Amino acid sequence: MTHPHRQQGQDSVERSVRVLVIEDGEEYIRNLRRFLPARFELVRAGSGGEALALLEDQLFDVVFLDMRFDRVPPEALLGGLEQVANRFNGDLDRAQRFLEDNQGAYVLAALRDGACSLPVVFSHDFTNEPRRWANLEARYAPLDYLADNAGPEEVSERLGAWAEGRCVR
C-alpha cells in the first residue's frame, strides 16, 4: 500500500487539500469544517482500522490524528489488548486505558507499517514530552503536532504547508 501525495497543481494556494481526520469522536471534524477555509476537503475515520481502509482507495495530502481514543470499542483499538495486558501483569482494564490514551501512536505505527508516507499532524501537545516526541519523529517522520488549543489560522497554515511539501519541523 503506497500512498503518494496527490499531484500538486500549478497554483498550490488554490489547490484543494484532502485531509484524513482520524478521531474517535466528531469534535475535530466539526470544528475543522467550521473554521478551515473551503480549500480543505475533510474525510473522517473513527478508528485506525477505518483509516487504513480509507487509505486503500482514496488519496489524501495529509493526516490529522487524535492521540486519545476512549470512545471506540476495545476490539477496534490497535495494539493488541492481550499483548499490552502482559505489560501490566494481566490487568486488562489498565491495558485498555493505556491503549485508549496512546491509540494515536498505535495508529501512526500502523500507517507507517502499511507504507503510508503522508505527513501526519497530531492533535496533541508534546511540549512537555520532548523525549517521546523525538522518538516518534525519528521513527515515523514526516510528523508534526499542534496543541488542542491551536487556532484556525495555525491549523490551516500547518496542514496546508505539509500538504504542499513546504513544512519541515
Residues 142, 143, 145: CA angle, nearest 5 degrees: 160
Q: What is the pLDDT of residues 87-127, one digit of tens each?
A: 999 999 999 999 999 999 999 999 999 999 999 999 999 99
Q: Is residue 137 part of a domain?
A: yes
Q: Is residue 114 part of a domain?
A: yes
Q: How many domains does the chain have?
A: 1
* This prediction's pTM: 0.90
Return the C-alpha cell found at 93. 482494564
Q: Is residue 1 part of a domain?
A: no
Q: Is residue 58 part of a domain?
A: yes
Domain of residue 67: give its range. Answer: 17-163
Confidence tier at 15 by pLDDT (50, 70, 90): confident
Q: What is the pLDDT of residues 45-82, one digit of tens each?
A: 999 999 999 999 999 999 999 999 999 999 999 999 99
> Distance between CA 69 and CA 77 in Å, rounded?
8
> Distance between CA 82 and CA 98 in Å, rounded?
12
> Distance between CA 163 and CA 94 in Å, rounded?
37
